Amino acid sequence: MSFPFYIARRYLFSKKQHNVINLISGISVVGVALATLAMVCVMSGFNGFQDLIGNLFTAFDPQLELVPTQGKVMAEDDPSLVAVRRNNKVAAATNSYEDNALILFKGRPLVITLKGVDDNFTKTSEIKNILYGQGQYLLRRGNLNYGIPGYNLALQMGGLNFGTLQICVPKKGEQINLANPIENINVDDLTASGICFQVHQQKYDDNLMLCSLPFVQGLYNQEGCITKLELKLKGGVDEQVAKKELQQLAGPRFRVLDRYEQHEETFNVMQIEKLFAFAFLTFIVLVACFNIIGSVSMLIIDKTKDISTLRHLGATNKQIVHIFLFEGWLISFMGAIIGIVLGLILCLLQQQFGLLKLEPTGGGNFIVDAYPISVHVLDIVIIFFTVIIVGFLSVWYPVNYLSRKSMDLQA
């Protein structure tokens, strides 16, 4: 143990001549601890919401998705896509075609997203786990095409048994004739299946209509074309390793996306919000560290005689300055440790008992009753070093200045 650190530790825990110094030191530790606790809880809260949304996406979205790098459609019999489907890491593959369409329901036009899938869709997604209603999962039977709407879309159409819908899309490569728009529009019918799905995401529940792939391809005049190839990997296969292998197999004309990349915009917004919250809380830690400056400043005044004694015993000016720098660092360290421990305890209690409810009165319509919490080890490490660095930097200049001034007065 170095000499300055030993003295700083003794000063931190020993009784001072003025009790107010002990009080200020205690307040400094508490201030840093509370700021650290807030950082742990807020960052874990952001992680909880991100993990919650990620879990919701997995109920509908594929594990991996292959899309063209240029344009919107690709040939379903493309050799690269065939090679991807035959890869030994792929358990199932689904061809899908997704685009906007217009439905006419009782004379009311409504823009929706039409998603056509083949028979393997139930193997690449968990669609059957989020279905509601008395009907069965069925997209096509004979000449009839069935549509499965999102929950909120079904509500807009008056319920699950909406009868038959007219689906309208512009003909490919043609401009709308305003005098007679029907000439440039493809129209076909979808029949109610008696069921709907609910993902708890507006993107799906409000606008998406699920139907068969041949129906959508014919409606858009895109026979043999798809917009996505959705993949499910075999059990035990590392997703990121498989993603790299499939990307090499697909080539530069295609992109292989995992679930987070499929919703990159949503998660980027959440990351930006988390970053701003972290910066704001770091500023609060900096404000809390001002108490450390006051504590160390009072300690320097209180230990004026000790400084003189240490100089006569051979301590250098640098060692004396380091004593008070270590004093400030120890206060930051104690505050960080206490704050992280208390923060982790609060997070654990929230996870187990849901102390903080999303809707205290119980009248809300939320996916979960309490705020979701997810503690990430990397976040805890970053918070710890942030508090330590901010605490050290905040006292570095004041301690250097006050220590040298005190020694100059004694000289």
Band (pLDDT 50/70/90 cuts) for residue 57 is: confident
Q: 125 or 172, which is more confident?
A: 125
Q: What is the pLDDT of residue 248?
A: 96
Q: Is the pLDDT of residue 39 over 70?
A: yes
Whole-angstrom distance, CA of residue 82 vs CA of residue 110? 36
What pLDDT was estimated at residue 403?
64
Residue 17, pLDDT > 80, answer no
| The pLDDT value given to residue 316 | 80
Residue 118: pLDDT above 80? yes
pLDDT (0 to 100) of residue 2: 80
Report pLDDT for 181: 61
pLDDT in tens, 242-260: 999 999 999 999 999 998 8
Which two tokens mark 314? Answer: 């051979």
- The pLDDT of residue 66 is 97
> What's residue 174's pLDDT?
65
Give the residue, 64 or 51, on which the prediction is more confident.
Answer: 64
User: In degrees rounded to 5, what are phi and psi of residue 177?
Assistant: -85, 105
For the residues 18-35, what does the mean pLDDT come to? 81
* CA R_g for the chain: 32
- Read off the tokens for 57: 């996406």
Of 14-23, 114-123, 165-174, 321-330, minimum mean pLDDT range: 14-23
Residue at 325: amino acid letter: L
Kindly report the CA angle at 146 between 198 and 367, in degrees rounded to 5?
Answer: 0
Alpha carbons 209 and 149: distance in angstroms, whole number: 4
User: What is the rounded distance in angstroms from the CA atom of residue 367 to the CA atom of residue 386?
Assistant: 34
| Structure confidence at residue 10 (pLDDT) | 76
Residues 6 or more apart whose Cβ sits within 8 Å of residue 153: 112, 196, 205, 206, 207, 208, 209
| pLDDT grade for 16, boundaries at 50, 70 and 90 | low
The number of CA neighbours under 13 Å toward the Cβ of 400 is 7
Flag whether pLDDT at 77 surpasses 90. yes
% of residues, the chain, pLDDT over 70: 90
CA 384 to chain centre: 21
Distance (Å, rounded) from C-alpha 305 to C-alpha 312?
A: 11
Q: What is the mean pLDDT of the chain?
A: 87
Tens of pLDDT, residue by residue over 205-246, are 999 999 999 999 999 999 999 999 999 999 999 999 999 999
Residues 314-369: pLDDT tens digits?
788 778 788 888 888 888 999 999 999 999 999 999 999 988 887 655 455 667 88
pLDDT, one tens digit per residue, over 138-159 is: 999 998 999 999 999 999 888 8
Between 321 and 182, the more confident residue is 321
Token match 């005098």: residue?
179
Residue 83: CA atoms inside 13 Å, Cβ hemisphere, count?
A: 11
> What confidence tier does 311 reach under pLDDT thresholds 50, 70, 90?
confident
pLDDT at 175: 67
Domain boundaries of the chain, sorted by first residue: 3-57+266-410, 64-259
- State the Cα–Cα distance between residues 25 and 295, nearest whole angstrom: 5
pLDDT of residue 396: 82
Rounded to an integer, what distance in angstroms lies between the CA atom of residue 80 and that of residue 246?
Answer: 10
264: pLDDT confidence band, cut at 50, 70 and 90?
Answer: confident
